[in-house]
């Protein structure tokens, strides 16, 4: 029985059908029913998961998911908001799915890269659209049309030759059109931008007798026999022919093509060129579904067309050859209409062809093209497409940045500027804070603080990323910034990704900024008593609290400030972009400082944080002991325990880190994924250590499944030295600061990313006074050469950036950041690792263009491309 909850929703039409009734019901009687439907949240969550194949849903997944998980507890206005948001999706889906794909001219299919301008709930997109049109003043101001109507209008506006439905191409009937639609290929535009995944370069012809199973080979021979080609019940027809050259005979098998067609195309005795993969089938060699073409007498294989053939993603039911012919037809008829998103002079200066030429050469490489360059996507044509994609992306960032800085006259929304902090203040709070600090700021800290103070004293809001390796002292700088804000009468919100880290920040802020400088520091985290929470909310609103330190709990709707002037986000890569945005919206354009200890290679940071100014603390506080890192093979585990005992005996402390908590369903899954029955887990190992290797020492346990207060208590014991060795999961990864911890053992180190291990070992070596610390990475048996090599990087270097680069290269950007958390945009052609140089070039070009022509009035085509690219996605540019 098909389970409805699990079946994917593949088309917009299906999506509309699934959503219509529940949403109509919920919105009936002025949404009165929204209060009644308790299961709607779970239902919509299910739909969201099932429809993740639909680009529009994917693009807005976070907004759509917002609030679903606590639907049951959500007050009615919140439910209404959610129903409205989904209804807009429903409207847009019904509209796009009005006609069956492929039949007649379906209403403007969404272009491949851009999503149709969404409405109401894609608030940020609207803001962006507004900014663009308001700055451009090219379009006369109209009354804001209704959301759905606006989307339709946008769709109409962008309708051009490239929106011609594929069915209008020669050779495309309703059946083929449907099959193409499954891959999202609805309009000519989609075909043109359906780019080759790779190229196959036909090898020179071999002798049939020399073929071996597994070869990619080409042969020239004559057709000797035909067989089959009729569909049997329920099976695809198989057609077989034998071809022969002077050296031998080989089989050629085609699937799903009619025998009649094939016997006509390859009559007995015909000379043919066959190229493809050779396989063994019932003790004989065969080409399986190869490229094959008749070869005229006297024509050599080298003369035959298609020496370099583009290879596309498979489209079910459309043969690769037919797909290539369709793309060729699209190129022949429509290449001229392909717009240039890059100004001509800019392309020419780089020796890049027009977009039309680039597409032509990418799909139909010239016969003399350098195959190696093509395969590596290194031709000018590919470079052009990559440049354009990155350029348009960076244009969005450049515009966003300009808008976020604009004040007064310059400001499209006419919004007031950010609070000017610290200009007239005598720096009293800051002075007190600095005097109370038990240390002097390092030169790097002072420099960064000066940069921040410069920003704070401007009316255009600060948008600054503070990067600094673990232990470089970012918190001290953040507190100094907070002191400036408080001194100027503004409030500060500090958001940390975990309760543990929030608790630690709270302690530090209370001690150094509260007791030291007289600021009122409070906390706001999940799971607070109702009473305590509402008291705190009142103080925030009244402005009695100067600095509030917390977690996601700060984002809740009812948290409001009297005068939020500065937002500080710690370990910022752990938050979704929208969460940062939400916090920022609680103030009137507050200044924003985001901090990260994950050194992010430049190619990624330009993409993720492209509109932020960056400050780097590139110096560690003095007197830190060195951290020595050693990869320890499983066989030498005792050595690790012995070292831990030595440190404990000397009155210092240890972390023992494990990849999983243990005793839970997650862990079973993880262990299974790891392909081993037994993964050392924190909860089991704590017993083992107490009973064995660490007997006689106090061993504590901390992990993510403990309640916040339990975790707090354990950390307090560890900080105070009441616990000697702390068995932990990666909950301790960020921010934890216990100076007398001098040794760390990481089990199953091969399972962690390098950047993560680097972050982990940042927990030790904080003691000062030159005490050396030791990080022991236990690599489980036979981790593979690669894994061990990877770990050795950590033995060799302590430079976070070098480690991040290595990690990025080994794991790719998605893994590196965790795609979901990172908000890293998806690029169709560009690859951030490969195309770092193009990215930098495109970025400079974009920023220059925005400086020269902020409204893009003189570059309407660029403007159009930017609007298309960014519609519905602008929140990805907005960081802060």
Closer by beta carbon to ligand ADP, 390 or else 794: 794
What DSSP letter does each residue of 105-161 carry, written as one string? --S-PPPSSSPP---TT-HHHHHHHHHHHHHH--SPP-PPPPHHHHHHHHHHHT--G
Residue 259 sits in the site that holds Mg ion (CB under 5 A): no
Those residues whose C-beta lies under 8 Å from the C-beta of residue 18, and which sit 6 or more positions away, are 9, 47
Which part of the chain contacts ligand ADP (CB under 6 A), choosing from 56-64, 177-185, 190-198, 439-447? 439-447
Residue 621 touches which member of Mg ion, ligand ADP, none, C-beta under 5-8 Å by kind: ligand ADP
Closer by beta carbon to ligand ADP, 473 or else 783: 473
Residue 118 touches which member of Mg ion, ligand ADP, none, C-beta under 5-8 Å by kind: none
Q: Select from 264, 96, 292, 101 the least CA-distant residue to 182.
A: 101
SS3 769: coil
481 in Cβ contact with 446 (< 8 Å)? no
Q: Give whole-number Cα distances, 535 to 74, 237, 502, 529, 543, in Å.
A: 21, 75, 19, 10, 12
Those residues whose C-beta lies under 8 Å from the C-beta of residue 648, and which sit 6 or more positions away, are 654, 694, 697, 724, 725
What minimum distance in Å lies between the beta carbon of 771 and ligand ADP? 14
Residue 216 touches which member of ligand ADP, Mg ion, none, C-beta under 5-8 Å by kind: none
Closer by beta carbon to ligand ADP, 593 or else 832: 593
Residue 474 sits in the site that holds ligand ADP (CB under 6 A): yes
Residue 618 sits in the site that holds ligand ADP (CB under 6 A): no
Q: For the chain, how long is the longest CA-to-CA vector?
A: 97
Residue 497 sits in the site that holds ligand ADP (CB under 6 A): no
Closer by beta carbon to Mg ion, 497 or else 823: 497
Closer by beta carbon to ligand ADP, 87 or else 508: 508
Those residues whose C-beta lies under 8 Å from the C-beta of residue 296, and which sit 6 or more positions away, are 271
Q: How many residues contact ligand ADP, by CB under 6 A?
A: 18
* Residue selected from 89, 262, 549, 597 as contacting ligand ADP according to rule CB under 6 A: 597
Q: Tokens representing 825?
A: 């945009």
Q: How many residues contact Mg ion, by CB under 5 A?
A: 1
What minimum distance in Å lies between the beta carbon of 32 and ligand ADP? 50
Residue 476 sits in the site that holds ligand ADP (CB under 6 A): yes
Which part of the chain contacts ligand ADP (CB under 6 A), choosing from 235-243, 474-482, 553-561, 793-801? 474-482
Give the C-alpha separation, 859 to 845, whole Å.
13
Q: Tokens representing 340?
A: 């240039």
The rounded radius of gyration (Å) of the Cα atoms in the chain is: 31
Residue 735 sits in the site that holds Mg ion (CB under 5 A): yes
What minimum distance in Å lies between the beta carbon of 809 and ligand ADP? 24
Q: Select from 395, 404, 510 the least CA-distant residue to 870.
A: 395
543 in Cβ contact with 522 (< 8 Å)? no
* Residue selected from 92, 133, 475, 719 as contacting ligand ADP according to rule CB under 6 A: 475
Which part of the chain contacts ligand ADP (CB under 6 A), choosing from 217-225, 265-273, 468-476, 519-527? 468-476
Pairing of strands 308-311, 198-201: antiparallel
Residues between 731 and 760 that touch ligand ADP (CB under 6 A): 735, 737
* Residue selected from 766, 790, 843, 863 as contacting ligand ADP according to rule CB under 6 A: 766
Residue 771 sits in the site that holds ligand ADP (CB under 6 A): no
Give the C-alpha separation, 402 to 416, whole Å.
15
Task: Tell me which residue has its CB nearest to ligand ADP.
Answer: 473
* Residues paired with residue 660 on neighbouring β-strands, in sequence order: 681
Residues between 498 and 557 that touch Mg ion (CB under 5 A): none
Residue 470 sits in the site that holds ligand ADP (CB under 6 A): yes
Measured between its terminal Cα atoms, the distance across the chain in Å is 48
Residue 83 touches which member of ligand ADP, Mg ion, none, C-beta under 5-8 Å by kind: none
* Residue selected from 309, 442, 615, 773 as contacting ligand ADP according to rule CB under 6 A: 442
Residue 473 sits in the site that holds ligand ADP (CB under 6 A): yes
525 in Cβ contact with 550 (< 8 Å)? yes
Give the C-alpha separation, 308 to 640, whole Å.
56
Query: For residue 171, is it left (φ>0), alpha (ψ between -120 and 50) or beta?
Result: left
56 in Cβ contact with 116 (< 8 Å)? yes
Q: Tokens representing 475?
A: 């918190």
Residues between 104 and 163 that touch ligand ADP (CB under 6 A): none
Residue 724 touches which member of ligand ADP, Mg ion, none, C-beta under 5-8 Å by kind: none
x-marked contacts with ligand ADP along 445-464 as a string, rule CB under 6 A: x-------------------
Closer by beta carbon to ligand ADP, 211 or else 441: 441
* Residues paired with residue 617 on neighbouring β-strands, in sequence order: 468
x-marked contacts with ligand ADP along 620-639 as a string, rule CB under 6 A: -x------------------
Closer by beta carbon to Mg ion, 362 or else 494: 494
Which residues of this protein are in contact with Mg ion, per CB under 5 A? 735
Which residues of this protein are in contact with ligand ADP, per CB under 6 A? 439-442, 445, 468, 470-476, 597, 621, 735, 737, 766
């Amino acid at each position: 029985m098909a389970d409805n909850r699990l079946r994917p929703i593949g088309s917009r039409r299906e999506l509309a059908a699934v959503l219509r009734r529940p949403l109509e019901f919920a919105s009936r009687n002025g949404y009165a029913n929204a209060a009644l439907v308790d299961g709607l949240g779970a239902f919509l969550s299910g739909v969201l998961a099932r429809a993740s194949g639909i680009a529009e849903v994917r693009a807005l997944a976070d907004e759509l998911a917002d609030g679903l998980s606590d639907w049951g507890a959500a007050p009615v206005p919140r439910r209404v908001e959610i129903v409205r948001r989904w209804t807009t999706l429903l409207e847009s889906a019904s509209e796009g799915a009005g006609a069956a794909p492929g039949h007649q001219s379906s209403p403007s299919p969404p272009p491949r890269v851009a999503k149709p301008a969404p409405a109401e709930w894609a608030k940020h997109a609207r803001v962006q659209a507004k900014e663009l049109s308001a700055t451009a003043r090219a379009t006369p101001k109209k009354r804001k049309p209704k959301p759905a109507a606006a989307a339709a209008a946008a769709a109409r506006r962008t309708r051009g030759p490239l929106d011609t439905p594929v069915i209008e191409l020669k050779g495309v009937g309703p059946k083929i059109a449907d099959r193409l639609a499954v891959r999202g290929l609805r309009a000519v535009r989609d075909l043109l931008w359906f780019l080759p995944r790779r190229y196959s370069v036909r090898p020179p012809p071999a002798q049939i007798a020399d073929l071996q199973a597994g070869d990619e080979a080409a042969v020239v021979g004559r057709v000797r026999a035909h067989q089959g080609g009729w569909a049997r019940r329920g099976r695809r027809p198989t057609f077989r022919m034998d071809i022969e050259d002077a050296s031998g005979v080989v089989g050629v098998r085609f699937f799903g093509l009619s025998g009649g067609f094939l016997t006509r195309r390859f009559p007995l005795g015909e000379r043919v060129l066959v190229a493809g993969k050779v396989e063994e089938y019932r003790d004989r060699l065969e080409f399986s579904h190869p490229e094959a073409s008749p070869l005229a007498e006297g024509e050599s294989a080298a003369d035959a067309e298609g020496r370099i053939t583009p290879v596309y993603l498979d489209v079910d039911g459309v043969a690769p050859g037919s797909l290539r012919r369709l793309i060729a037809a699209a190129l022949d008829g429509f290449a001229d209409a392909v717009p240039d998103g890059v100004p001509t002079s800019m392309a020419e200066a780089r020796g890049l062809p027009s977009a039309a030429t680039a597409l032509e050469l990418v799909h139909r490489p010239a016969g003399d093209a350098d195959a190696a360059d093509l395969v590596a996507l290194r031709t000018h044509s590919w470079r052009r497409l990559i440049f354009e994609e990155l350029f348009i992306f960076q244009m969005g960032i450049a515009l966003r940045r300009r808008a976020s800085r604009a004040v007064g006259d310059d400001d499209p929304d006419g919004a007031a500027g950010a609070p000017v902090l610290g200009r007239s203040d005598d720096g009293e709070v800051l002075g007190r804070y600095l005097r109370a600090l038990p240390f002097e700021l390092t030169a790097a800290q002072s420099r960064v603080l000066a940069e921040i103070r410069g920003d704070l004293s401007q009316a255009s809001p600060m948008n600054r990323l503070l990067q600094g390796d673990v232990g470089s002292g970012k918190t001290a700088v953040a507190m100094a910034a907070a002191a400036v804000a408080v001194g100027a009468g503004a409030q500060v919100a500090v958001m940390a990704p975990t309760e543990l880290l929030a608790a630690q920040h709270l302690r530090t802020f209370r001690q150094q900024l509260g007791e030291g400088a007289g600021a009122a520091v409070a906390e706001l985290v999940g799971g607070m008593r109702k009473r305590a929470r509402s008291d705190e909310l009142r103080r925030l609103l009244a402005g009695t609290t100067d600095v509030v330190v917390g977690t996601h709990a700060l984002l809740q709707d009812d948290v409001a400030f009297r005068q939020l002037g500065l937002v500080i986000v710690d370990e910022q890569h752990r938050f979704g972009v929208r969460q940062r945005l939400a916090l920022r919206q609680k103030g009137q354009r507050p200044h924003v400082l985001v901090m990260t200890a994950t050194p992010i290679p430049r190619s990624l940071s330009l993409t993720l944080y492209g509109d932020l100014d960056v400050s780097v603390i590139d110096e560690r506080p003095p007197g830190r002991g060195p951290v020595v890192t050693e990869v320890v093979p499983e066989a030498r585990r005792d050595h690790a325990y012995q070292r831990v005992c030595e440190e404990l005996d000397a009155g210092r402390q240890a972390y023992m880190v494990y990849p999983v908590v243990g005793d839970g369903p997650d862990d079973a899954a993880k262990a299974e994924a790891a392909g081993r029955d037994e993964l050392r887990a924190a909860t089991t190992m704590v017993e083992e250590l107490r009973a064995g290797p660490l007997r006689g020492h106090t061993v504590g346990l901390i992990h993510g499944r403990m309640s916040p207060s339990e975790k707090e208590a354990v950390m307090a014991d560890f900080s105070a030295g009441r616990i000697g060795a702390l068995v932990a999961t990666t909950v301790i990864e960020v921010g934890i600061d216990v100076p007398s911890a001098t040794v760390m053992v990481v089990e199953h180190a091969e399972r962690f990313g390098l950047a993560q291990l680097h972050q982990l070992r940042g927990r030790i070596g904080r003691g000062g006074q030159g005490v050396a610390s030791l990080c022991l990475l236990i690599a489980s048996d036979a981790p593979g050469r690669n894994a061990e090599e990877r770990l050795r990087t950590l033995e060799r270097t302590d430079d976070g950036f070098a480690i991040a680069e290595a990690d990025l290269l080994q794991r790719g950007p998605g893994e590196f950041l965790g795609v979901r958390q990172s908000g890293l945009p998806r690029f169709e052609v560009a690859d951030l690792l490969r195309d770092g140089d193009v990215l930098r070039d495109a970025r400079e070009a974009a920023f220059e263009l925005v400086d020269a022509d902020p409204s893009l009035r003189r570059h309407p085509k660029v403007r159009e491309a930017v609007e298309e690219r960014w519609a519905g996605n602008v929140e990805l540019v907005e960081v802060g």
